[in-house]
């Protein structure tokens, strides 16, 4: 199991502002805005930030997200997050688990080193899973961002074939 972090892929995307929902009673500290997994791009063009020439908004380009993963292939986990109100150190990580004999088994993980985050910023990290082992069946991708001591996660149900 290879835990290769592709890197602090795109340092920081600064958002002009982060609006709060009209019915929110408290401002959230932040969120995992995207948790996706897709094939590694042999050309190395994606993932990318602001790669759409002429766009007037911040954007990301990733491999089309998959819900069915082929064992033996390397996938790229993309995690985008938005910091709403926290200033301090953050960590982004993922865990890919397969169901083996009815029990969860971790088959790939990755984590950033702690990085500085502050309100009204967005981040994109990408991780390589390495070749996925042959554990056919249900799997789960869990993307977590820790804003200091507060961890916020998003899960995606997957299938390995």
Q: What residue ranges do the domains of the chain occupy?
A: 5-19+27-160
Q: In whole angstroms, what separates CA 21 from the centre of its chain? A: 23
Selecting from 2.40.50.140, 2.60.40.10, 3.40.50.2000, 3.40.109.10, what CATH number does the domain 5-19+27-160 have?
Answer: 2.60.40.10
**Residue 47 contacts by C-beta under 8 Å, 6 or more apart in sequence?**
9, 60, 61, 62, 63, 76, 78, 124, 126
| pLDDT for residue 14 is more than 70 | no
Q: Is the pLDDT of residue 138 over 90?
A: yes
pLDDT in tens, 59-73: 999 999 999 999 999
Is pLDDT of 39 > 90?
yes
Tokens linked to 14: 């600064």
- Model pTM score: 0.83
Would you place residue 22 in the very low, low, confident or very high pLDDT band (cuts 50, 70, 90)?
low
């Amino acid at each position: 199991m290879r835990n290769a972090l592709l890197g602090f892929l795109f340092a920081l995307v600064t958002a002009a502002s982060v609006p709060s929902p009209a019915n929110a009673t408290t401002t959230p500290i932040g969120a995992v805005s995207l948790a996706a997994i897709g094939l590694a791009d042999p050309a190395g063009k994606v993932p990318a930030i602001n790669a759409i020439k002429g766009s007037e908004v911040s954007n990301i380009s990733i491999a089309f997200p998959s819900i069915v993963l082929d064992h033996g292939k390397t996938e790229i986990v993309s995690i985008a997050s938005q910091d709403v109100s926290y200033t301090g150190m953050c960590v982004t990580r993922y865990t890919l688990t397969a169901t083996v004999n009815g029990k969860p088994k971790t088959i790939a993980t990755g984590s950033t080193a702690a990085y500085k985050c502050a309100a009204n910023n967005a981040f994109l990290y990408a991780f390589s899973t390495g070749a996925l082992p042959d554990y056919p069946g249900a799997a789960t991708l869990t993307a977590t961002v820790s804003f200091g001591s507060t961890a916020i996660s998003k899960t995606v149900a997957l299938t390995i074939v």
